[in-house]
Amino acid sequence: MSTTRYLFGLLLFIIGVLLLLSNFNYLNVNWAFIIQFWPVLLILLGIGAVTKNRPVRLLLVTLTVLLTVALAMYGIQKGWLNPNVKYKVEEQDLAIEYAEEEQAVLNLETGAGKFSLSGASDSLIEAQAKTSLGLYTMQRSGVGGGEVDLRLDGQNVRWSHVGSVTNNLNISLHDQPVWQINVKTGATSLNFDLTKHQVEKIEIDTGASEVKVKIGNLTNQVRVKISAGASKIHLLLPEEFAARLDVDSGLSSHNFPQFTEVSKGVYETENFSTANKTVTIEIDAGLSDLQVSRY
């Protein structure tokens, strides 16, 4: 085996192990720091092209690795590789007045960040944002007026500065309308407590994320659809609800107590076909840790 092929194989192996450990929260990997060393790949390719002499290639590769490690240590000490870039943090209070709507829809579209939804508001929707990625806009849309778009109008951020930005959003909804909630985000920490709300549909489309959704018992039928990258997903359902779970996932760990697998990737509680209160869940995710529990 050539030295170049060996090194690239080793590199892919290391990256795969780091991704696996990071996705399951066994290791906190600073990818913004690591990605700054991508030019080393060009150097290794150049070494493979310049000489076919194996001992010479091995010597050059060894020197490259040693110099890269030395540069990383020196750069960390001098602050070159993780510059303390300060993005301006904007704080916003947003609200849409409640107008006796019986049906309402929230469309949330934003980038990576931390998002929570809990509690009841006197407004139809109320949000507190703290972000260095731009400004949020919130406005009514749709014919009936009960549909609200909450979006982030953002700015570009360098890969190396990802760890320096802030994007936090706390949302509260009025507890009278029957809600549909549509979420589209980047890599996310998302925590939705919907126990005080009548919710008939939840749809989440996100990247590599940690998602926790607690569903209430105020509606008879709830539909949940989650599309995600490598993620940790935890759904909490009321004890009195029957449930059907349809999972399309890659390598994953899962914990579905009180569910029986009725066909490949499909799980049901024993009383799903006859129950008055039901939750139908669809999950399409990459490498994931999936948990569905009762409260």
Distance between CA 196 and CA 135 in Å, rounded?
28
pTM value is 0.71
As a whole-number percent, the residues of the chain with pLDDT over 90 amount to 47
Distance between CA 216 and CA 198 in Å, rounded?
7
pLDDT in tens, 178-190: 999 999 998 789 9
Q: What is the overall mean pLDDT for the chain? A: 82
- What is the radius of gyration, based on Cα positions, of the chain? 24
Task: Give me the pLDDT at residue 153, please.
Answer: 84
Task: Give me the pLDDT at residue 143, please.
Answer: 66
Q: Which residues contact 244 (CB under 8 A, 6 or more apart)?
A: 266, 267, 268, 269, 272, 278, 279, 280, 281
Task: Give me the pLDDT at residue 187, please.
Answer: 77
pLDDT in tens, 196-229: 999 999 999 988 789 999 999 999 999 999 998 8
The DSSP output letter for 1 is: -
Task: Give me the pLDDT at residue 87, please.
Answer: 63
Q: Do 141 and 149 contact (CB within 8 A), yes or no? A: yes
Write out residues in the chain with pLDDT < 70, as ranges.
1-8, 10-11, 18-36, 48, 72-87, 143-144, 154-164, 251
Task: Give me the pLDDT at residue 40, please.
Answer: 73
Task: Give me the pLDDT at residue 159, please.
Answer: 39
Task: Give me the pLDDT at residue 3, please.
Answer: 57
H-helix or E-strand spanning residue 243 = strand 242-249
Taking the CB of residue 32, how many other CB atoms lie within 10 A of it?
17
As a whole-number percent, the residues of the chain with pLDDT over 70 amount to 77
